[in-house]
Structure 1
Amino acid sequence: MTLFGLVHYARYRPRLPDEVVQLLVQELVGVHAPTLLDLGAGTGQVALSMLPALPRTAHLDLVDQDQGMLGTALDELQPHLGGHTATVHAIPAEEFAPAQPAYQADLITCCRAFHWMVRLAVLAMASRVAAPQAAAAVMGDGSLWTHPAEWTAALKGLIQSHRGEDRRAGTTGTHREPGRRYEDDLAHSAFSDIIEHRIPFTRAWTPPSVLGYLRSTSFARPDLFADRPGFEEQAQALLLQHAQDGLLHEGGVFTVLLARRPGASR
């Protein structure tokens, strides 16, 4: 991802709702010096969300294939670390192998990124490094492309008028739904004891923040548009038309699949 995209990714990708943070933190109660392993960490949205709620003895491992994203994540985290420690690993998630022989992750998270991964291989890796009572949380909340509001539908239509019906994904391809549900992947892994949590959330966007978000996405990144200024001018006008008191509201559900080894305590 370009530096331009990294800046917008870090600034405009939403962090975890407070209710999700509290749900995850409950998994670490009683652990003196917990280790959080975040897979597909991007620019650190999960780590930045969790940091204020973690004990100062906590350590964070951030894994992502994109070195630039991890560099941005460290820049974002550094002013807030305090007594916490953080390490980044620029590798595919399934290749994570801790240097310390006694390493154990007390909570493994993957937010908005599991669909990009070799999922069963990632879960096999997670089983190797997870503490006996650790939980794995696969979570996400969709995107403005999938959100069913009047203003997001109009925005999606505008993007499609420039780029065609298919949703772009990654650097060259188009979006395809996963071949099977994440619950089925988890059921075929060591983490087969699964509870689904559906947590409602609301967000308020401004037209500039929506444009910033779009620049960070694979379906509306700047290089997809022959006339980027023209597209953004149209998008700005559309968003202003739909805004109420300058705000655009998104209400959705944040889904957390919290999975453990069978028999592990809750």
Structure 2
Amino acid sequence: MSTTGLGFSGEVADYYAKFRPGYPPPVIGALVQELGLTGEHRVLDLGCGTGQLAVPLSAHVGSVVAVDPEPDMLAHGPRRPKVEWRLGSDADVPGLGRFDAIVVGQALHWMDHEKLFRDADTATFAIIANGTPLWLQHPAIRKVLEEWFGRPVTADCGTDAGARRRYAAALEAAGYTPHEWTISHTHEHTVEELAGSLFSAMSPETLPAPQDRPLFREKLRRALRADTYLEPITVAVISTGPASWPARRARPGPR
């Protein structure tokens, strides 16, 4: 992850802020309970984007440091008394001090996760996959994208079971005791919202030109044969011990 950004700039950041589904109260409540967070805790939201996780989480903790490498994403972050927005990446985490918990929402695939787990000063991690990418959920959505770009669309954004197993193994190697849990809900998109969410996952170079976006939305509508799409979302979380723990368990010794 680089402080020069990852392509989530300009109009892509605008679409991200406006159309990316966030985390409804039941998901935030489950995360707070599972991590044992209270109003005394300092939390890092790494790869925070435009604040879909940092902002609602801040209502339950003492403070949130929200870090992202893209200035345009941070510019959309709502100003809240308990949220501090910072430009940076996973490479900067050791210099940010001690956190009671570090959360990473749908962004770990951009990071050197093994180094992050080794170097971070925290007892508690939560690695969050906010559902499955839209193009892997519905064949009609995938077909529209593949026909539009003329190539297969297969990116899983680190949400698949194999990625979660790798993350859990890396946490164990760093001395943590991870476990996985899920919580499910649904989110209804209009076709405009669905297109906006898809645009938020593109790079500025691949974003359809403004004059072509109505055609893209119309292709989605025809492919789905509906004006809305009800997205099934299973939030999968790999978390370690609650934030009330004084420290992580002892790291394994040499073998």
Query: Which residue pairs with 2:179 in the alignment?
Result: 195
Is residue 12 from structure 1 mapped to residue 19 from structure 2 by the alignment?
Answer: yes
Query: Which residue pairs with 2:101 in the alignment?
Result: 107
- RCO higher in structure (CA 8 A, sep ≥6): 2
Contact 2:192 2:217 in 1 (8 A): no
Q: Deviations over 1:157-206 (max 9, x none)?
A: 1111122333387xxxxxxx859622222221122x11211111111000
Give the drift of 1:243: 5.6
SS state at 1:44 partner: coil
Query: Which residue pairs with 2:170 in the alignment?
Result: 185
Give the drift of 1:111: 0.7
Q: Which runs of 5+ in 1 are unaligned?
A: 170-176
Equivalent in 227, 234, 249 of residue 230 of structure 2: 249
Contact 1:163 1:225 in 2 (8 A): no
Figure out how many residues of one structure are paired with residues of the other and give that number.
230
Cα distance in 2 for residues equivalent to 1:31 and 1:237:
46
SS state at 2:230 partner: strand
Give the drift of 1:20: 2.2
Give the drift of 1:48: 2.0
Equivalent in 37, 47, 54 of residue 40 of structure 1: 47
Q: Deviations over 1:191-222 (max 9, x none)?
A: 2x11211111111000111111122113xx56
SS state at 1:252 partner: strand
Contact 1:211 1:232 in 2 (8 A): no
Are residues 28 and 250 of structure 1, via their aligned partners in 2, closer, same or farther at CA, if it must alter by over 3 Å?
Answer: closer
Q: CA RMSD in A?
A: 2.7
Cα distance in 1 for residues equivalent to 2:125 and 2:237:
10
Cα distance in 2 for residues equivalent to 1:30 and 1:109:
12
Q: How does 1:126-145 map to 2 (within 5 A)?
A: 126=120, 129-130=121-122, 134-140=123-129, 141-145=131-135
Cα distance in 2 for residues equivalent to 1:187 and 1:9:
33
SS state at 2:49 partner: coil
Give the drift of 1:241: 5.9
SS state at 1:236 partner: helix
Contact 1:162 1:225 in 2 (8 A): no
Are residues 195 and 178 of structure 1, via their aligned partners in 2, closer, same or farther at CA, if it must alter by over 3 Å?
Answer: closer
1:190 counterpart letter in structure 2: G
1:209 counterpart letter in structure 2: E
2:69 counterpart letter in structure 1: Q
Cα distance in 2 for residues equivalent to 1:248 and 1:161:
20
Query: Which residue pairs with 1:238 in the alignment?
Result: 220
Cα distance in 2 for residues equivalent to 1:61 and 1:167:
34
Cα distance in 2 for residues equivalent to 1:197 and 1:208:
32
Are residues 243 and 166 of structure 1, via their aligned partners in 2, closer, same or farther at CA, if it must alter by over 3 Å?
Answer: closer
Cα distance in 1 for residues equivalent to 2:185 and 2:216:
28
SS state at 2:22 partner: coil
Cα distance in 1 for residues equivalent to 2:164 and 2:151:
21
Query: Which residue pairs with 1:163 in the alignment?
Result: 149
With the length of structure 1 as denominator, give the TM-score of the two structures: 0.75
Equivalent in 171, 196, 215 of residue 199 of structure 2: 215
With the length of structure 2 as denominator, give the TM-score of the two structures: 0.78
Query: Which residue pairs with 2:136 in the alignment?
Result: 146
After the TM superposition, which of the residue ranges 19-28 and 231-240 deviates more from structure 2? 231-240
